[in-house]
Amino acid sequence: MVADSKGKSDISFAGTFASSAFAACLAEICTIPLDTAKVRLQLQKSAVAGDGLALPKYRGMLGTVATIAREEGLSALWKGIVPGLHRQCVFGGLRIGLYEPVKNYYVGSDFVGDVPLTKKILAALTTGAIGITVANPTDLVKVRLQAEGKLPPGVPRRYSGALNAYSTIVRQEGVRALWTGIGPNVARNAIINAAELASYDQVKQTILKIPGFTDNIVTHLFAGLGAGFFAVCIGSPVDVVKSRMMGDSAYKSTLDCFIKTLKNDGPLAFYKGFIPNFGRLGSWNVIMFLTLEQAKKFVRNLESS
């Protein structure tokens, strides 16, 4: 993510976009079981009055993964992988591919030296918002497929697959429904993108100034873990609201979802699924950034030859 000292990218936008999309897709494939567990935990609501003896179906990251695998089969853990890959090709490519150009735009063409952290955050907020605005339909379909658990015998599934989900949503709810939850989704992804890209950029830049550290896999590993940790701490509340709005049509707006979640489930509900979210985003960022750095190196050599 960190280019040269002037912040100029040394490979083309097309090369960065392709590298980013590939790295994001690989990370998605490896970590989507944890993402499915996170969505189920976030959508799980507290027991209502008079039902105090009812225990939550899903308990903890590993417990949720085990419950889904036992009741629905291992393949259920990869529910939503097709729209997930659609999402990463579009969102991952745009948010990372545009990061360096937008960051350079904010600091100006004559800027020399280390880019200020505020400019990195602003650039990542911008590219995260742009990317998810385009990719929101893929996120919606992914969440809806992941949210559907084991159904009673004879009850048909809501969607037979990703493409069927897109067409069914448009046919039954209209084209605008594909952008359901766009408000919290833009907020969530802009914030998480800022936490991921800006922190990765900053942590990597800081580590490289420590004697003995070079631009290698160890540096990328530490920077990736830092990016995942900051992303979960900052983005978990909006992530919960986004998942609930996309998975349940009962909410009228972002504010309505926030108020009802706070009233019915308490403030800790905004950090439901925190551990699987960190397990997912931490590992996702490590895999994605390690792959991205190697993919960019490959593209750099390809373009220079």
Q: So what's the pLDDT on residue 138?
A: 92
Q: How many residues does the chain have?
A: 305
Give me the chain's average pLDDT, please: 85
Euclidean distance between CA atoms 274 and 266, whole angstroms = 15
Backbone angles phi, psi at 59, to 5 degrees: -135, 105
Place of tokens 């990719």: 135
The CA-atom distances, in angstroms, between 249 and each of 41, 78, 165, 181, 243 are 17, 23, 15, 10, 11
CA distance from start to end of the chain: 22
Q: So what's the pLDDT on residue 155?
A: 74
Residue 292 or residue 9, greater confidence: 292
Residue 3 banded pLDDT, cuts 50, 70, 90: very low
Q: So what's the pLDDT on residue 210?
A: 92
Cβ distance 273 to 37 under 8 Å? yes
Q: Helix, strand, or coil here: 236?
A: helix
Q: Please write the tens of the pLDDT for every residue from 257-279.
A: 889 989 988 988 888 767 767 77
Share of the chain above pLDDT 90, in %: 42
Euclidean distance between CA atoms 38 and 61, whole angstroms = 7
Q: Please write the tens of the pLDDT for every residue from 13-49.
A: 899 999 999 999 999 999 888 888 877 887 776 554 4
Euclidean distance between CA atoms 138 and 64, whole angstroms = 24
Euclidean distance between CA atoms 255 and 154, whole angstroms = 37
Is pLDDT above 50 for 4? no
